[in-house]
């Protein structure tokens, strides 16, 4: 491989990119747009749950229970109704997610130290949100029930009833439990995979459609020099996209960054190299810009979004799907980004994922070179 010829090829491609300011602007603006769109729209936090209350008891005890829900940030009391059907209609129409029904004999049962029941109606259409809401309700009711039992015991026995187990929780890496701290680092990996694959998926196919590939054939350029030269030009654009995405994640979404900048830069370069080479491989296989673009979307967006662990935990997927995720390079980069951003871990923990990215980049570069060599032959 001749570095002078490779550099000349990269310079040619870079001039093509600069001469088309609209495409260059889109290549730089898309990561910012996607990150802002997904970062704000893809919110997994379940709080301020819209709630209606049917208080048939209307006593001090029932108002005390309602105040517990009003004082929690997880619930938002939207109003009070006079029967069950009003809650059912609101849930059916999507106006509320949860209903609280306090029976008429609620306070009498508490005063008599009997079991007082409270009915909770939850819209289970979204099972994940409903499960989280049910967990919030169960925790609030359990704590309130213990306080009532403790008060009764204090009046009867004259000494305080202590909790048998005092659980002290400590949340690591995302102490505020905000979903953006979990979503944004993975989103950076998904966006870079999509943008990088699409940037180069059209390059060689365009040469074939425009008839300029024959001119390249008449030059002393070898397939590795063509692939590397084309990749290096878009690598500069990809690095700018990566820098924009990382800065937006840190300064706009305020995701904590606890890791090593050098490790972040190294792993990003390796991932970009493999993703760009993947686009060149698709372009060399198809010879058609339309088909290359379609294959770039299918092979980058869907696997990276669904099978990378970006949103959905891989551990919860079926075993067959879990095995398939090992073929998705974005899976390893998502793990690396979350480890660097949130946990501050280094190469001693992430070396396996980095090795997988290096292997992917090397195999894809070799595949693109051989495929282009076959096309040229």
Structural domains of the chain, with CATH: 3-43+178-376 (no CATH), 49-157 (3.40.1710.10)
d(CA 256, CA 40): 17
**Burial of 20: CB neighbours in 10 Å, binned 0-12, 13-18, 19+:** exposed
Q: What are the residues facing 122 on neighbouring strands?
A: 98
Helix (H) or strand (E) holding 55: strand 49-55
Spatial neighbors of 136 by CB under 8 A, at least 6 apart, are 46, 49, 72, 74, 75
Question: How much is the average pLDDT of 5-32?
Answer: 80
Count of helices and strands (H, E) across the chain: 15, 4
d(CA 247, CA 28): 13
Collapsing DSSP to helix, strand or coil, 198 comes out as helix
Q: Judging by DSSP bridges, how do beta strands 119-122 and 75-80 pair with one another?
A: unpaired
Question: How much is the average pLDDT of 271-300?
Answer: 85
Give the phi and the psi of residue 364 in degrees, each rounded to 5: -70, -40
Nearest to residue 102, comparing CAs of 130, 133, 67?
67
At 49-73, the pLDDT tens digits run 999 999 999 898 899 999 999 988 8
**CA distances (Å), origin 225, targets 14, 221, 242, 329:** 15, 6, 25, 24
What's residue 158's pLDDT? 56
Q: Are 191 and 47 in contact (CB under 8 A)?
A: no
Q: Are 225 and 231 in contact (CB under 8 A)?
A: no
At 303-324, the pLDDT tens digits run 888 888 887 888 888 999 999 9
Give the phi and the psi of residue 185 in degrees, each rounded to 5: -60, -40
Task: Name the pLDDT band for 147 (thresholds 50, 70, 90).
Answer: confident
Nearest to residue 272, comparing CAs of 302, 240, 295?
240
Task: Name the pLDDT band for 264 (thresholds 50, 70, 90).
Answer: very high
d(CA 107, CA 104): 8
Mean pLDDT of the chain: 85
What's residue 354's pLDDT? 95
Q: Are 200 and 280 in contact (CB under 8 A)?
A: yes
Task: Name the pLDDT band for 156 (thresholds 50, 70, 90).
Answer: low
Q: Are 224 and 306 in contact (CB under 8 A)?
A: no
At 168-201, the pLDDT tens digits run 777 788 777 788 888 888 888 888 888 888 878 7
What's residue 220's pLDDT? 74
Question: How much is the average pLDDT of 321-331?
Answer: 92
- 210 versus 324: which is more confidently predicted? 324
- State yes or no: pLDDT of 163 exceeds 70: no
d(CA 352, CA 87): 53
What is the sign, positive or negative, of the torsion defined by CA atoms of 67, 70, 75, 80?
positive
Question: How much is the average pLDDT of 245-267?
Answer: 92
């Amino acid at each position: 491989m001749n570095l002078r010829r490779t550099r000349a090829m990269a310079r040619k491609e870079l001039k093509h990119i600069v001469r088309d300011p609209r495409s260059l602007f889109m290549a730089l603006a898309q990561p910012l747009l996607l990150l802002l769109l997904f970062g704000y729209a893809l919110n997994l936090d379940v709080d301020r749950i819209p709630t209606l209350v049917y208080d048939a008891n209307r006593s001090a005890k029932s108002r005390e229970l309602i105040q517990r829900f009003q004082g929690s940030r997880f619930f938002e009391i939207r109003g009070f109704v006079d029967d069950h059907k009003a809650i059912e209609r609101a849930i059916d129409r999507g106006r509320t997610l949860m209903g609280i029904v306090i029976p008429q004999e609620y306070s009498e049962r508490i005063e008599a130290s009997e079991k007082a029941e409270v009915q909770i109606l939850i819209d289970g259409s979204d099972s994940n949100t409903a499960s989280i809401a049910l967990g919030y309700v169960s925790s609030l009711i359990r704590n309130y029930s213990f306080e009532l039992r403790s008060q009764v015991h204090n009046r009867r026995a004259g000494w305080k009833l202590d909790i048998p187990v005092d659980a002290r929780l400590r949340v690591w890496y995302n102490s505020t439990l905000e979903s953006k701290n979990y979503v944004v680092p993975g989103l950076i990996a998904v966006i870079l995979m999509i943008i990088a694959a699409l940037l180069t998926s059209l390059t060689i196919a365009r040469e074939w459609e425009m008839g300029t590939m024959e001119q390249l054939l008449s030059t002393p350029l070898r397939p590795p020099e063509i692939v590397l030269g084309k990749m290096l030009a878009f690598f500069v654009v990809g690095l700018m996209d990566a820098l924009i995405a990382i800065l937006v994640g840190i300064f706009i979404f305020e995701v904590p960054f606890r890791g090593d900048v050098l490790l972040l830069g190294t792993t990003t370069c390796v991932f970009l190299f493999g993703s760009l080479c993947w686009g060149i491989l698709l372009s060399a296989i198809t010879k058609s810009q339309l088909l290359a673009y379609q294959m770039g979307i299918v092979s980058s967006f869907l696997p990276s979004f669904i099978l990378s662990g970006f949103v959905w935990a891989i551990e919860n997927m079926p075993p067959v799907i879990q095995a398939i995720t090992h073929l998705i390079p974005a899976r390893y980069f998502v793990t690396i980004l979350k480890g660097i951003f949130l946990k501050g871990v280094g190469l001693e923990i992430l070396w396996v994922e980095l090795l997988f990215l290096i292997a992917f980049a090397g195999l894809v570069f070799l595949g693109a070179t051989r495929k282009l060599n076959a096309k040229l032959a």
